């Protein structure tokens, strides 16, 4: 079971990603670390973690305000999915 992310989660985490990447690049420039693949991966990893944290914080705040959202149910059984879609089963 999992919950689908809210629209606010996607919007805020995307904005936070670009802001965190900008700050990380600026900080690494100030430290004199040369540009390259390793630095780019580090910036991406930092921005991704900060963005994920902001998204989780957004969901936590939404849950505190609105209460828990219903979970989406996924069916792992392919035959049930095919039957529901009206497709012939193998």
pLDDT at residue 16 in the model: 96
Does residue 90 form part of some domain? no
Residue 59 lies in a domain: yes
Residue 88: band (very low, low, confident or very high) from pLDDT cuts 50, 70, 90: low
pTM: predicted TM-score of the whole model, two decimal places: 0.68
Indicate whether 54 belongs to any domain.
Answer: yes
What does the pLDDT look like over 32-80, one tens digit per residue?
Answer: 999 999 999 999 999 999 999 999 999 888 888 877 766 655 555 666 6
> What is the number of structural domains in the chain?
1
Whether residue 33 is contained in a domain is answered as: yes
How far is 27 from 31, CA to CA, in rounded Å?
6
**Residue 12, domain member (yes or no):** yes
CA angle 34, 41, 31 (to 5 degrees): 35
Chain segment 35-46, per-residue pLDDT in tens: 999 999 999 999
Which structural domain range is residue 43 located in?
7-85
């Amino acid at each position: 079971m999992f919950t689908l992310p809210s629209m606010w989660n996607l919007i805020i985490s995307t904005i936070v990603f670009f802001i965190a990447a900008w700050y990380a690049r600026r900080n690494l420039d100030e430290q004199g670390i040369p540009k390259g693949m390793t630095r780019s991966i580090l910036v991406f990893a930092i921005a991704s973690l900060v963005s994920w944290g902001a998204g989780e914080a957004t969901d936590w705040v939404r849950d505190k305000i609105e209460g828990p959202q219903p979970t989406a149910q996924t069916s792992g059984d392919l035959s049930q999915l095919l039957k529901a879609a009206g497709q012939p089963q193998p």
